[in-house]
Amino acid sequence: MPIDYLMEGPAEAARLEAKTDARLTRRLLRLTRLSKGARALDAGAGTGAVAREMVRLVGPTGAVVALDGSIDRLSEGRRLALESSPVPVSFLVGDLRHVPMRSESLDYVWCRFVFEYLSDPAEVFDELLRLVKPGGKLVIGDLDGNGIFHHPFPEDLSEAMKRLEAGLRGRFDPSMGRKLYRFFWERKLGNIRTHLFPYNVYAGRASTAAIANWDQKLEVLKPIGEKIFGTFPYSQFRSRFLDFLSREDTLSYSVLFLAELIIGVIIPIILFSSKKVRMSRRGSLIAALFVIAGIVLNRFDTSWFAMQPVGSAHYSPSWMEVAILVGVAAGVLLVFTIISRFFPVFKETVPVTPREAQPAEIDQPASTAPVPVAARTEGA
């Protein structure tokens, strides 16, 4: 059974296109380091508005797949992509719970404004995680406070919004953004980064486009709303809420959480789980180097890239910062080398001298042959 999408309707493709800010999308994709040549997925793509920005970053050597459960939205997306994308976008119809793609086949998986509509987001999270190969990246983004953060909000309107929210439970979660980090943490995944951005901030009257977007969403919710409120009360609630958004003395907002994971801790875990690797000087060194490389890359990612604002400002580290980072990595490697050379870290056979290696004869009765005794090695 396909996912029951709350906002499903004939005008949904147009609404998704109208609400997608291409400039902000490009900034977020750069912030999460979508790189040239990457094989990437836009999961829950709708018309592929984000996928069309992704192809500009991956270039002709990369590949982008837009996945959605609606044939109509993907058909519209294919038409738009042919008109504007310099690199072809592949469109794939599929269920986010059972993506028809190979495990560990993608460098980058993006999923935004989808989890808030899922009845079982953990199932979809695990499926998207399955697709990311070691060294790849999974990025999940969603809103927090969607439609519920307002001031001053009339008490009766606030109570009506809470009733609507309760009636949509299981099909819509306005507080999903704050819950994203937990999905990563529960699976003991390292290298998790969480970004927070203001989103849908209306100080005074909301824009005409924002009010039109809300009007369309409330129209789609009309059958559910009328069951919750009754026919007249729902229409009254809808009218009053849109009037509230049009007022000059109000503030409405939500925030966007963007959580990302670099799948880079898996290789050393696999290596160190092997007894053969742990007992080998060379194997342990290689596994340790993977750990060090992961720490170094994480520090680069955090101090160099993550500190870059979403705006146009740019930061580059000084030569001293780079030298300190390289020095720390070299120091860690030196300490490991000294410890492994001069301390009994590895189990090894004690070398025997030729003299010790000669068999020794023990006095035996005449009827018994000499018994050779081999030199004993440490750990025998």
The pLDDT of residue 94 is 95
Instruction: Report if residue 135 sits inside a domain.
Output: yes
The pLDDT of residue 343 is 80
List, for residues 104-133, the tens digit of each pLDDT value: 999 999 999 999 999 999 999 999 999 999
Tokens 């729902």: give the residue.
234
**How many whole angstroms from its chain centre is CA 2?**
23
Whether this prediction's pTM lies above 0.75 is answered by no
Q: Are residues 295 and 161 in the same domain?
A: no
The pLDDT of residue 370 is 43
Model confidence at 371: pLDDT above 60: no
The pLDDT of residue 271 is 73
Instruction: Report if residue 17 sits inside a domain.
Output: yes
Q: Which two tokens stand for residue 226?
A: 């009328």
For residue 76, the enclosing domain spans 12-262
Output the CA torsion 307→310→313→314 (10° steps).
50
Q: Are residues 121 and 188 in the same domain?
A: yes
Give mean pLDDT, residues 153-172.
94
Q: Which two tokens stand for residue 193?
A: 């980064």
Q: Are residues 276 and 157 in the same domain?
A: no
**How many whole angstroms from its chain centre is CA 117?**
17
| Rg for the chain, CA atoms, rounded | 30
Give mean pLDDT, residues 266-286.
77
The pLDDT of residue 362 is 40
Tokens 């580290």: give the residue.
317
Of 229, 262, 295, the residue that ends a domain is 262
List, for residues 176-234, the tens digit of each pLDDT value: 999 999 999 999 887 889 999 999 999 999 999 999 999 999 999 999 999 999 888 99
Q: Are residues 78 and 146 in the same domain?
A: yes
List, for residues 141-155, the tens digit of each pLDDT value: 999 999 999 999 999
Binning pLDDT at 50, 70 and 90, where does residue 169 land? Answer: very high
Instruction: Report if residue 20 sits inside a domain.
Output: yes
Q: Are residues 243 and 291 in the same domain?
A: no
Model confidence at 363: pLDDT above 60: no
The pLDDT of residue 3 is 81
Domain count for the chain, please give it. 2
Quote the mean pLDDT of the chain.
Answer: 85
Q: Which of 41-55, 286-300, 334-348 has the lowest mean pLDDT?
A: 286-300
Give mean pLDDT, residues 35-47.
96
CB 143, CB 254: distance < 8 Å: yes
Instruction: Report if residue 357 sits inside a domain.
Output: no
Q: Which of 135-139, 164-168, 326-330 has the lowest mean pLDDT?
A: 326-330
Q: Are residues 200 and 285 in the same domain?
A: no
The pLDDT of residue 264 is 59
Q: Are residues 223 and 312 in the same domain?
A: no
Nearest to 196 by CA among 144, 129, 263, 261: 144
User: Residue 375: is it exposed, middle or buried by C-beta count within 10 angstroms (0-12/13-18/19+)?
Assistant: middle
Q: Are residues 236 and 326 in the same domain?
A: no
Instruction: Output the CA angle 18-23-28, nearest 5 degrees.
Output: 110
Of 321 and 138, the one with more pLDDT: 138
Model confidence at 53: pLDDT above 60: yes
The pLDDT of residue 2 is 64
Of 357 and 22, the one with more pLDDT: 22
Q: Are residues 238 and 296 in the same domain?
A: no
The pLDDT of residue 277 is 79
The pLDDT of residue 63 is 96
Cis peptide before 2 (omega within 30 of 0): no
Instruction: Report if residue 70 sits inside a domain.
Output: yes
Q: Which of 17-26, 230-239, 291-300 has the lowest mean pLDDT?
A: 291-300
Give mean pLDDT, residues 166-176.
95
The pLDDT of residue 380 is 38
Tokens 């209306």: give the residue.
202
Q: Are residues 228 and 303 in the same domain?
A: no
The pLDDT of residue 309 is 45
Task: Enumerate residues 6+ apart whose C-beta is below 8 A from 108.
Answer: 32, 34, 35, 38, 39, 40, 41, 132, 136, 137, 139
User: 10 Å Cβ neighbour count for 256?
Assistant: 20
Give mean pLDDT, residues 70-81.
95
